[in-house]
Structure 1
Amino acid sequence: MYSTWSSAVLAVGLTPSFHRHISPAGEKLRQLCKSSYFSESSTKRRRSVALLASSSSGRILKIGENSEADKRLSLKDYFEQSEYLFRSDGGPPRWFSPLECASQLDDSPLLLSLPAIDGLGSMLTLHFQSLGKIFDIWCLHIPIDDRTPFPELVKGVVETIRSEHCHSPKRPIYLVAESFGGCLALAVASCCPDIDLLLVLANPATSFSKSQLQPLIPLLEIMPDISRFSVPYMLSFLADIPSKMVMGTLEERLPVQQTIGDITDASIALSSYLSVMADVLSTESLLWKLKMVKSASAYANSRLHAVKSETLVLSSGRDLLLPSVEEGERLQKVLPKCKVRTFNDSGHAFFLERTHDLVSILMGTSFYRRGAYHNYASDYIPPSPSEFRKIYESTSWLENATSPVVMSTIESGKIVRGLAGIPKEGPVLYVGNHMMLGLELAPLVTRFMVERDILLRGMAHPLMFTKLKEGNLPDVSSFDYVRVMGAVPVSATNFYRLFSVNSHILLYPGGVREALHRKGEEYKLFWPEQSEFIRMAARFGAKIIPFGAVGEDDIFQLLLDYNDQAKIPFLKSFYEELSKEAVNLRSDSTGEVTNQEQHMPVLLPKLPGRFYYLFGKPIGTAGRKQELKSKEKSHELYLEVQTEVERCLGYLKEKRKYDPYRNIVQRLAFQARHGLESEIPTFEH
């Protein structure tokens, strides 16, 4: 049966109006010439992405480009595409590659999307455009009347993987799956331990034995007529699709009239989709699919011990069909390279929720790579506008409370308000001081994005990426948003990689010691005695911009620092164990910077004052590579940078005394008179 898998390829342009362009599918597709789509190299296929193979006989179809390529697709598009696929011709399972997924990267990994219980293969519709920029995507479609046994499905996918691996042996292959597809992905991975596979599994049906769908099997056997109308609607509501449809539209924040129109259009599309499903999905087909999921679950569970692939499990807290949270925890214990992310407000149909952006999830979990190993520089994709907005809104309370004043120094040496003195082109290295708990970071990073469209790649403590052992430190998942915004573990290798791609890099030499300083140490620098970044910056001719940030003493008072808490025996022991969970970055250094005890200071909030930032004049290193190879010369420049940071701090601490709007009461009064969006004045500079 699977001799046809290599040429049985359905690759159609899934545009919102596609089902109207091709109908009925079989007749149109049979009129076209033959093509061996899978026998071509990936590069050749990508160069002619508008010519895509179709139908089980591998025929060619040319579909017009989507005129709304830059607009993220919606549930309405999913319903329309799924309705077409429900009506598609019979034949064996086949792959299709949507036109929205025309990859823009020459070395894109292959992504094989494995379908849920419906077999349609369109579950990633809402993500096609963003994923298509960084992946070569093929989706598996299993026609509604197909009766291919599960072991044969596994065999077919394995054959595809091995064929593609032969074409590009160094290219990783991703299996992205939901529900039933999760069982298929795990079964396939168990057969390919020698191939670099990465699995992304949303609510995998390996827990089907505990599913709410189990009772449907005997019920359908004794009451066959129940499936025609009841089951499609029941499954829709159990998957929470109607509410997600409404919430997804509301989150777009469109004008009221357009929002109502979009919800109406989506409701009509959903009604049509359910009607087609009820019309096409016979009792026999539904029974077959449910029994298929049951057997697939047992099959996959019996082979979990053979799965060696890196795995990312996405678990929904409100999955009404499967106990997905518990299953994610179980798989994490069983699989050797498994990460789990739990989304408490999500339902079973995870990929159909507009609140999720799969590319951002992959960036946040450091799960995207184009080679054998993850490269924090070249494998990074910046957040989409919607993802940035979501992160910005989650931290905007701090900016609203502190009304930051940001100043920079232009070429003449004059200090101006705003970031006019910041170079647009990299590489640029920003070197400054941490306030308590790094509170200056969020307003700083978002201001660079909003005002200059510059993404600061922060050199972050490794505890945000990995833990030496499990314990009481926050789980690394707590820092996913930091990785989405481009943070990388601080290391010489990552420094080199970021400089090599002309990044804007944010560095805090004082690190943990400054972010968890003691009483009376506000705005005191705790830098290593030796330079750590000067020669690397000179190697790439980077500009170095010293900066200072003040304001922590205006928003809280430090009541209990580490020295106070260490006097309590059980707290001292607790913090000692806590520190053992994280990497000590300064083990080879001397001085106060080596004291990096992990602890939580006790803070007393104040009526919010104001944050102030000052970026000094850029210090050029271009043409100084040979000069700065000298330890003496590089150390002189290191001290110059340190002195400039201290000068910025002194300037801000002195000048803020003359800011009439330093207190939040005065700022609120100003905004009441001039509007919330008006820029609040500050001291003269």
Structure 2
Amino acid sequence: MASNALCLFPSPSIFRQSQSAGRFKSTPSWMNPSRRLAVSTDHTPTITDAEALFFQQANHLLRSDATGTGPPRWFSPLHCGPPLNDSPLLLFLPGIDGTGLGLIMHHHKLGKIFEVSCLHIPPKDRTPFTDLVKLIERTIRSEHHRSPDRPIYLVGESLGACLALSVAALNPDIDLVLILANPATSFSRSPLQPILPLLQFMPDSPNLSLPHILSSITGAMVASLEKGVGRLPLSQTVENVCEKLSQDIVAPSISYLSVLADILPRETLLWKLQMINSASSYANSRLHAVKAQTLILSSGRDPLLPSQEEGQRLRHLIAKCDIRTFEDCGHFLFLEDAFDLVTAIKNVGVYRRSKERDFVSDYIPPSPSEVKGIMDKNRWVNIVMSPVMLSTLADGKIVRGFAGIPSEGPVLYVGYHMLLGFEIVPLVTQLLEQNNIHLRGIAHPMMFMKLKEGRLPELSLYDDFRLMGAVPVSGKNFFKLLSTKSHVLLYPGGVREALHRKGEAYKLFWPERSEFVRMAARFGAKIVPFGAVGEDDIGDLLVDYEDQMKIPFLKQSIEELTAEAAKVRATVEGEVGNQAVYLPGILPKFPGRFYYHFGKPIETEGRKQELRDREKAHELYLEVKSEVENCLAYLQKKRETDPYRSLVSRLQYQATHGIASQVPTFDLD
């Protein structure tokens, strides 16, 4: 089979001696010294002020480590466990604070899918950057020796990102996945640079912590600079930098300033900034050697580092690198209430438990909050379109809703692919919201990878589809989905159908021979044929593939786009094999309505032996295709009698009965 879908839419904590759990029951050598800090919470954190929770936990950690001296050590947050079977190891490498508590808002979720350990660097520790790199190297080599077939995740922020990149460059033979938030590899362009030389001339006093330093710089030092040299750009820069620092670091609460003073006293801050300066140079000189799969998380409002620009720079320097930008987040991304690390990992699709990602067994279903987010994001589509969902009961009666849809899998939904895949959003969201059916689509590889950089849409456009469980088209993935009794969405017409030409609306472009029948029969899956119409109610196709191929520069664009996308049906001749990728010219129309008709489910249970015969399988294949065509014809005819087909009539009805009310449609036969 080679079918595919395409959519171009847009609490108090305690610290104690570790009683290691899970894979670390027998403490490995890299956990030395034997004392292992552990963070425990009685319940999932519900504090909305992430910074406050961080400072509370940091205060407990510092009290448990009264000397504040090294060496650096690992600790496991007890609230993380227990994870899934065979979960990979995640090592968190902290930023300038060094506490190792930067993921505190994510411990509970991360602990369900990872073995989590965090690096703690005491405030008075002066371990050089290169020695920290060696410490992490020993850790990953020990873990790799214990579990050679499992990846190791290095999550680092700012300084920690430099550590992760350096370790990856020095260990290309180990399977690492890097997740880097606002890497400090851009430190040479940071507004923190002017502070570094100024700190060296400030008086050494135990009362001078970061807040006091900021106050001194913004006040006395700026005044001194202005007095000596006038209001030059340097004094303005210092003032602006310190104001930003105050907002991004000190702002959470005056009550936590004493904790911040313990974490970053003046001498520690100076040491850390000097370390970041050297770490940035060290990591940058080795970027060419980084072979690890990498995800860059960039904040749009980072006052300390030019994180957005740096993310783009690293993307082009690291061989296997994805980037996601969070426009409204500051420097400390992991402490942002609006940011969810596990969701980001799911969106990008970097979670795996072995050398190769298994799109079925490694898939983590969306959480209730993630589902709600997707529903909220797409609710306007369902409100504006007021999609009509019709299904067919066992006796052949057509009803509104999903009463005719099997609730137990495996179920294979086989249907028509509208222009640009417009039908997918209402289909997936309505099934999930109304029947709690999680539909997993078999999709075009362009939603998961690019063969090269170019003009195809950014992969981030498809994050929600990956979050909802779409898989790249392949017989292996199809097999695994059916074997796990999933509800599977399949479009035999693929890209050719979704990017059809003028006059081809509602025409099927299916291969000559069956691609899915025998596989469905192998697992006794029910086949649900369906049709969807309405694309001609929302836009007119003005410039299609044939038109664009006549224009040289547009023809070149199509060839470039197609070359960027992975090939599907490359060996199939004729129109079905022509899976060219192009962006059609569409003239939007006043929004009409979408209609879906699910035919009577076709049973394959008990027909495994019968359908091994190619001719018998082909007969059933033609039956499914005919049912899809019948569904399309039924909808095209019946919608003509729908009094609420136009947007105006639906809005009038919703104004009277409520915006979320179900708008009536035509009479059902």
**Length-normalised TM-score, structure 1:** 0.85
Residues 559-599 of structure 1: per-residue CA shift (max 9 Å, x gap): 22222333333323332333222233222223322233322
Quote the Cα distance in structure 2 between the aligned partners of 1:413 and 1:241. Answer: 63
Displacement of 1:159: 1.7
Quote the Cα distance in structure 2 between the aligned partners of 1:352 and 1:646. Answer: 52
Displacement of 1:320: 1.7
1:67 equivalent to 2:43? Answer: yes
Q: Return the match for 1:558 from 532, 541, 544.
A: 541
Q: Map residues 126-275 of structure 1 onto 2, 5 A cutoff.
A: 126-224=105-203, 227-231=209-213, 237-238=244-245, 241=248, 270-275=253-258
Match of 1:450 in 2: 433
Quote the Cα distance in structure 2 between the aligned partners of 1:376 and 1:59. Answer: 35
1:649 equivalent to 2:669? Answer: no
Q: Map residues 393-412 of structure 1 onto 2, 5 A cutoff.
A: 393-412=376-395
Q: Map residues 167-566 of structure 1 onto 2, 5 A cutoff.
A: 167-224=146-203, 227-231=209-213, 237-238=244-245, 241=248, 270-278=253-261, 281-566=264-549
Contact 1:232 1:274 in 2 (8 A): no
Quote the Cα distance in structure 1 between the aligned partners of 2:36 and 2:586. Answer: 68
Quote the Cα distance in structure 1 between the aligned partners of 2:214 and 2:75. Answer: 25
Quote the Cα distance in structure 2 between the aligned partners of 1:339 and 1:634. Answer: 42
Quote the Cα distance in structure 2 between the aligned partners of 1:446 and 1:240. Answer: 40
CA RMSD in angstroms, aligned pairs only: 2.8
Contact 2:97 2:263 in 1 (8 A): no
Match of 1:256 in 2: none
Q: Return the match for 1:58 from 35, 39, 55.
A: 35
Quote the Cα distance in structure 2 between the aligned partners of 1:289 and 1:413. Answer: 72
Amino acid across the alignment from 1:120: T
Quote the Cα distance in structure 1 between the aligned partners of 2:447 and 2:367. Answer: 22
Rate the CA distance shift 1:235–1:196 in 2: closer, same or farther, 3 A: farther
Amino acid across the alignment from 1:115: P
5+ residue gaps, structure 2, are 1-10, 216-240
Quote the Cα distance in structure 2 between the aligned partners of 1:454 and 1:270. Answer: 45
Quote the Cα distance in structure 2 between the aligned partners of 1:62 and 1:671. Answer: 52
Rate the CA distance shift 1:490–1:452 in 2: closer, same or farther, 3 A: same
Match of 1:17 in 2: 12
Displacement of 1:484: 1.6
Larger RCO (CA within 8 A; separation ≥ 6): 2
1:660 equivalent to 2:643? Answer: yes
Displacement of 1:114: 0.6
Contact 2:93 2:154 in 1 (8 A): yes
Q: Return the match for 2:82 from 103, 113, 127.
A: 103
Contact 1:531 1:638 in 2 (8 A): yes
Rate the CA distance shift 1:191–1:54 in 2: closer, same or farther, 3 A: closer
1:594 equivalent to 2:571? Answer: no
Amino acid across the alignment from 2:641: Y
Residues 13-57 of structure 1: per-residue CA shift (max 9 Å, x gap): xxx222xxx4xx6xxx5xx6x86x4xx8607489xxxxxx99965
Amino acid across the alignment from 1:58: R
Rate the CA distance shift 1:580–1:200 in 2: closer, same or farther, 3 A: same
Quote the Cα distance in structure 2 between the aligned partners of 1:214 and 1:465. Answer: 39
Residues 218-251 of structure 1: per-residue CA shift (max 9 Å, x gap): 11111246645245787795496589xxxxxxxx
Rate the CA distance shift 1:232–1:389 in 2: closer, same or farther, 3 A: farther
Q: What secondary structure, in the 3-state scheme, does the structure 2 residue paired with 1:628 have?
A: helix
Displacement of 1:181: 0.2
Count of matched residue pairs: 625
1:78 equivalent to 2:63? Answer: no
Rate the CA distance shift 1:627–1:270 in 2: closer, same or farther, 3 A: farther
Match of 2:4 in 1: none
Q: Map residues 600-679 of structure 1 onto 2, 5 A cutoff.
A: 600-679=583-662
Quote the Cα distance in structure 2 between the aligned partners of 1:69 and 1:646. Answer: 52
Identical columns (%): 58
Q: What secondary structure, in the 3-state scheme, does the structure 2 residue paired with 1:123 have?
A: coil
Match of 1:260 in 2: none
Range 542-551 or range 404-413, more displaced: 404-413
Contact 2:177 2:293 in 1 (8 A): yes
Displacement of 1:98: 1.6
Rate the CA distance shift 1:281–1:366 in 2: closer, same or farther, 3 A: closer
Amino acid across the alignment from 2:434: E
Range 274-283 or range 521-530, more displaced: 274-283
Contact 1:204 1:324 in 2 (8 A): yes
Quote the Cα distance in structure 2 between the aligned partners of 1:88 and 1:319. Answer: 32
Quote the Cα distance in structure 1 between the aligned partners of 2:246 and 2:103. Answer: 16
Quote the Cα distance in structure 2 between the aligned partners of 1:519 and 1:657. Answer: 22
Rate the CA distance shift 1:423–1:271 in 2: closer, same or farther, 3 A: farther
Quote the Cα distance in structure 2 between the aligned partners of 1:573 and 1:622. Answer: 48
Quote the Cα distance in structure 2 between the aligned partners of 1:649 and 1:223. Answer: 77
Quote the Cα distance in structure 1 between the aligned partners of 2:337 and 2:508. Answer: 44
Contact 2:414 2:527 in 1 (8 A): yes
Contact 1:608 1:663 in 2 (8 A): yes
Range 295-304 or range 99-108, more displaced: 295-304
Quote the Cα distance in structure 1 between the aligned partners of 2:304 and 2:436. Answer: 43
Contact 2:383 2:659 in 1 (8 A): no
Quote the Cα distance in structure 1 between the aligned partners of 2:299 and 2:424. Answer: 30
Match of 2:101 in 1: 122
Quote the Cα distance in structure 2 between the aligned partners of 1:592 and 1:71. Answer: 57
Contact 2:36 2:73 in 1 (8 A): no
Residues 131-187 of structure 1: per-residue CA shift (max 9 Å, x gap): 111101011111112122222212222222222222222221100010000111122
Rate the CA distance shift 1:539–1:508 in 2: closer, same or farther, 3 A: same
Quote the Cα distance in structure 1 between the aligned partners of 2:517 and 2:400. Answer: 28
Residues 422-462 of structure 1: per-residue CA shift (max 9 Å, x gap): 22222111100011111000111111221122221111111
Quote the Cα distance in structure 1 between the aligned partners of 2:37 and 2:458. Answer: 49
Residues 291-319 of structure 1: per-residue CA shift (max 9 Å, x gap): 12122222222333433222222222322
Quote the Cα distance in structure 2 between the aligned partners of 1:62 and 1:151. Answer: 28
1:578 equivalent to 2:573? Answer: no
Quote the Cα distance in structure 2 between the aligned partners of 1:410 and 1:66. Answer: 49
Contact 1:172 1:196 in 2 (8 A): yes
Residues 349-384 of structure 1: per-residue CA shift (max 9 Å, x gap): 122223332222222222111001011111111222
Quote the Cα distance in structure 2 between the aligned partners of 1:558 and 1:661. Answer: 24
